Amino acid sequence: MKNFIHKAIKRSEKRKISYSEYMDLALYHPRFGYYMRKKEKIGRFGDFITSSNISDVFGKLFAKIFIQLVETGNISPVICEIGGGNGRFAQAVLQEWQKCSPDTYNRLTYIMIETSPYHRTMQKELLHPFSERMIWCERIEQCYQHFSKFAGIVFSNELFDAFPVHVIQKKENGLYEIFITLNDGQLVEMMEPLENEEIIAYLQERNITLVNGQRFEVPLMMKQFMLEMGSLLQKGIIFTVDYGYTDEEWQLPARREGSLRGYYQHQLITNPLAFPGEMDLTTHIQWDALRMYGEQAGWKFVKLIRQDEFLLEAGMLEYLMEHDDPNPFSEQSRQNRAIRTLLMDGGISTAFQVMIQQKNVSVNWNNIFKGKDRFLR
């Protein structure tokens, strides 16, 4: 992959590529990209862990929410999961749905949007028992082959943090874009005055101002994706699980260096140019941007809530099992440990948030969640 990026830089008009181009190559090149290669990425032998891979209870809880929305909220029994990884979340949802609501399960369609051939193969093997309920698409626009107007539930977990971004920096009262070039055969950064009109428009419409020295990631691809998705999704609910900051949080001094980084064998790599194609690249998403462009696409904002609080409100503690089994490797013991991991202070859920948006539906969220008087405060 490194040699391929070198060649891409040498072929470019000014021997430089933007960070967005670099990330797109490093992550999504059809042959050499990190997500496209036949390599385990999630879990103990991968580079990072996700909530749905800690325990099936994460998917079970969302299955309960999805079923309630279908049974009481006039939501079509259609789930669209974008970027499903190894398929563990979908497996947990489908198993729980089949057990808890056979009638709606028999009407269920579960769409997996997955760009990675490696992950599609993993998903199809894992989800073979549910194949009659499944549709796979490589890109979201392929949904048009199955639905002229989509209605249902859209779910993603750590999707937008892997979208390519441009990187800018304010320096000496001017804005600069950071590019990638070569110096003695090594990938290095270079700055040039900001000229990209799309980036300038983004900063203006989002009312973003930077202080001297501050780096900032500009998610033009996320913006485009949200607006395009709005034309397809006509009615339903969007659940976005990810880590990110609000505009107010982005202004804090601790965020001045930006958030672009890598994960390699469960180690945080601060240099995003290290190990191209071999490590995950990620940024904290901009929640207020997701909300704003969602509203432009016709989606009404419902709630942004920290993941541990969301799980508690949704009834995660109901999955704790009382037992006297001394075996620490029993199903009950493993599930109870997973729940504590998901809910404990300083655990994975304190770093994640859940955003809920809806379009052309009327849902009584207080009836969906256990904390009826707290959830929508």
Note the pLDDT tens digit of each residue in 303-312.
999 999 999 8
Cα-Cα-Cα-Cα dihedral of 299, 362, 136, 31, to 10°?
A: 20
Q: 180 in helix, strand or coil?
A: strand
Section 15-21 average pLDDT:
97
For residue 176, how many other CB atoms are within 10 A of its CB? 18
Q: What is the pLDDT of residue 171?
A: 93
Residue 244 pairs in a beta bridge with 285
| First CA to last CA distance, the chain | 48
User: Is the per-residue pLDDT at 44 higher than 80?
Assistant: no
Q: What is the mean pLDDT of residues 321-335?
A: 60
Report the C-alpha gap between 203 and 218 in whole angstroms.
Answer: 8
| Residue labelled with tokens 């939501």 | 75
pLDDT tier at 377, thresholds 50, 70, 90: very low
- For residues 179 and 190, the answer to whether their CB atoms sit within 8 Å is yes
CA-wise closest residue to 27 among 53, 4, 55, 49: 4
Flag whether pLDDT at 164 surpasses 70: yes
Q: Which of 188, 184, 185, 167 is nearest to 271 (CA)?
A: 188
Lowest mean pLDDT segment, chosen from 49-58, 59-68, 110-119, 185-194: 49-58
Whether the predicted pLDDT of 117 surpasses 50? yes
Token pair in block for residue 358: 């809806």
pLDDT band of residue 331 (cuts 50, 70, 90) is low
pLDDT at 47: 56
Quick check: 36 and 30 in contact, CB under 8 A? yes
Q: Note the pTM of the prediction, 2 decimals.
A: 0.91
Task: Please list, in sequence order, all residues whose beta carbon lies within 8 angstroms of the beta carbon of residue 131, skipping any fewer than 6 positions away.
Answer: 124
For residue 170, the one-letter residue type is K
Phi (first) and psi of residue 119, to 5 degrees: -70, -35
What is the predicted pLDDT for the residue at 327?
Answer: 54
User: What is the pLDDT at residue 238?
Assistant: 96
Q: What is the mean pLDDT of residues 344-365?
A: 88
Mean pLDDT score, 339-366: 86
What does the pLDDT read at residue 370?
60
pLDDT of residue 322: 52
Q: Does 90 have pLDDT greater than 80?
A: yes
Domain residue limits, the chain: 1-33+166-218+250-279, 37-163+220-243+284-377
Mean pLDDT of 264-290: 93
* pLDDT score at 48: 59
CATH topology of domain 37-163+220-243+284-377: Rossmann fold (3.40.50)
* Residues 209-248: tens digit of each pLDDT: 999 999 999 999 999 999 988 888 889 999 999 999 999 9
pLDDT confidence of 43, banded at 50, 70, 90? low
Report pLDDT for 41.
57
Residues in the chain: 377
35-66 burial by CB neighbour count: b if 16+ within 10 A, else e?
bbbeeebbbeebbbebbbbbbbbbbbbbbbbb
Which of 5, 56, 349, 81 shows the shortest CA–CA distance to 237? Answer: 81
pLDDT digits (tens, 9 = 90+) for 142-152: 877 777 778 99
